[in-house]
């Protein structure tokens, strides 16, 4: 039998090279598709988080019958001053009289009801014993009522929203 030499014609080389390229492209596509799915999952989570934030904020406003936040100082709720008297608040400004904000927590907001200070909200991630006690002491010291609600709109499902308000007013 006559042996034939199999030689890949020069003209095929570009096609072989193309085959490699196609495999590379397919691998790239798979990676991109996986990344896209991860992004879509994250986007869905963010959307759900954003819906929760909107819902919890709406619920808070309805329960406490407040309109919009007006600054981060709690002094107007305690003493009736029009504006924050603290200038540059420091970390210990909760110890001042009147204080700028309660101890610990983040995103402190003063809320108005019919243009007057009506409630003050702050968010805290871990409501440990000493923090809980500090909030109760703070409320007692400044003649406020305090309520702890799981519906934090700053960090839904992780943080607790702590709300201070005058004892003569009761939420629904
Ligand atoms: Zn202040």
Residue 135 pLDDT class (50, 70, 90 cuts): very high
Do the Cβ atoms of 120 and 169 come closer than 8 Å? no
Do the Cβ atoms of 121 and 106 come closer than 8 Å? no
Look at residue 4 in the predicted model and tell me its pLDDT: 63
Look at residue 96 in the predicted model and tell me its pLDDT: 81
| Edge-to-edge strand list for the sheet holding 116-124 | 106-113, 116-124, 160-165, 145-149
Residue 153 pLDDT class (50, 70, 90 cuts): very high
Ion ligand 1: residue ranges with CB closer than 5 A:
73, 84, 86, 100
Which residue bears the tokens 């201070």? 164
Do the Cβ atoms of 111 and 161 come closer than 8 Å? no
Do the Cβ atoms of 86 and 68 come closer than 8 Å? no
The answer to whether the Cα torsion of 26, 32, 34, 36 is positive or negative is negative
Ligand 1 center to 86 CA (angstroms): 4
Ligand 1 center to 164 CA (angstroms): 15
Q: Which helix (H) or strand (E) holds 164?
A: strand 160-165
pLDDT at 59 over 80: yes
Convert the pLDDT of each residue in 14-23 to its tens digit.
666 677 788 8
pLDDT at 99 over 60: yes
Look at residue 7 in the predicted model and tell me its pLDDT: 64
Ligand 1 center to 74 CA (angstroms): 7
Ligand 1 center to 136 CA (angstroms): 20
Look at residue 3 in the predicted model and tell me its pLDDT: 62
Look at residue 64 in the predicted model and tell me its pLDDT: 94
pTM assigned to the model: 0.77
Domain boundaries, the chain: 9-172
The answer to whether the Cα torsion of 76, 82, 83, 86 is positive or negative is negative
């Amino acid at each position: 039998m006559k042996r034939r030499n199999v030689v890949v014609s020069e003209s095929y080389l570009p096609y072989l090279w193309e085959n490699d390229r196609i495999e590379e492209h397919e691998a790239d596509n798979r990676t991109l598709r996986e990344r896209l799915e991860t992004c879509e999952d994250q986007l869905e989570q963010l959307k759900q988080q954003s819906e929760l934030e909107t819902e919890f904020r709406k619920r808070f406003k309805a329960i406490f019958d407040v309109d919009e936040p007006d600054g981060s100082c709690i002094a107007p709720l305690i003493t009736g001053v029009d504006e924050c008297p603290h200038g540059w608040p420091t970390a210990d400004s909760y110890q001042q009289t009147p204080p700028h904000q309660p101890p610990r927590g983040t995103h402190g907001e003063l809320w108005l009801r019919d243009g007057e200070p009506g409630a003050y909200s702050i968010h805290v991630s871990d409501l440990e014993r000493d923090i809980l006690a500090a909030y109760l002491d703070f409320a007692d010291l400044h003649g406020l009522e305090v309520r702890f609600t799981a519906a934090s709109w700053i960090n839904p499902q992780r943080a607790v929203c702590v709300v201070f308000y005058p004892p003569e007013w009761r939420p629904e």
